[in-house]
Each structure stands twice: as C-alpha cells, then as structure tokens.
A and B are shown apart, each in its own frame.
Chain A
C-alpha cells in the first residue's frame, strides 16, 4: 500500500500545511487589536521542502516566524495589517481548495486505473 500512499503524499502534505497556515493567519486577524501582538506567517515553500524531504515532523517553531516585510508598527506595538491578513487568508483558502481538487482528481485517476 506504500505506493498508493506515496502518490497522494505530496498533496496531503500540502493540504496539512495550508491548514496550519490558515490557523496562523486566523490568529493574526483575531489579534488585530491586541497591544504588542506581532503578526506571524508561515514560510510555505520552506515547510513543504522540509516535509517532503522526509525529515520527520517539521518543527513549527522554525517555520512560523514574525512577519518582517512591509510591516508598520502601530502605537500600541501591534503590527497586524488587517487588509493584508485578509488578502493572505483568502489566497491561502483558495490554494487549499485547489489542493482539495487535485487530491480528488488524483484519487479519480487511481480509481480509473484500478477499475481497468
């Protein structure tokens, strides 16, 4: 069964990492008014590389880091730009849906092969 697992592993990893990133982006939106909260993001391509290279569980401490580009600090120490976070959230949600579609079409491909 490992061959079948391998076929789906790439997209399954992508979906898992996308949903983790969704949680990080949702935290940023939820903490848009919290003083001294620093906006965080996940480097998705690095996380995918680490997960696919088989180095075990990706260490989430190194992947989720403070956002540094284009960040303006508000007077209360908060660095969340709600519009940017909403855009990233929508972008990530769309890519998640794309991943779901791809898993579906892969499964359909596998099924059509199995059914001859």
Chain B
C-alpha cells in the first residue's frame, strides 16, 4: 500500500515536471510560460512530500496523544517544501513583473515576437 502511494507520488512529480517543461518550451504567451514554470516547480513539492510520507503515521505535531520521540511523518521535507514555495513565489513574482513591463514596452507578450537577441 505504501509502495503504491509512493509510486503514484513519483509518477505525479515526473508528469508535472515534463508537462511544465513542455509548456515552457512551446509557450506563445509569457504569462502562460511563467505559470508553466510554476507547474515545473510544483513537481518538486509533490516529490518532497511523498519522500517524507510514512503510511499510517500521524503528522509531526506533538500533543497529549502523540508523544515526542514517537514515529511520525518526516517533518524536515515539509519544511523544505515550504521554503521551496517561498522561493517559487519570489521567482514567479519577478518573472510576472518582467512580463508586464515587456508588454507595456513592446505591446506584445509573445516570446517569439520579442526577438532582440538573435545571434
């Protein structure tokens, strides 16, 4: 059972990464490209969460019912995932700001038309 959950998680991570990558490569609108990048980043969230998961164990919150030093789901990967989300938010905010400025300056948001760097 745990293996199925794990395999499903890995498959989801791989699918998200490849789909997002396809979106970035073939995108014709910069906002779509930024959001495809978000999808790529989401694959790492899924991967991290699945790595930390332990079947039938509680969340790592120690209360009266869950004693400290008893077995729980891995808390480190959850912290990594949250840091990952913060990093992603920063990068996507920066990219969207750049997109808005590009649209304002050149009237288009199509990456194939913003073509100043050939060669």
Task: Please indicate whether A and B come from the same complex rather than being unrelated chains.
Answer: no
Residues of A within 8 A of B (CB): none
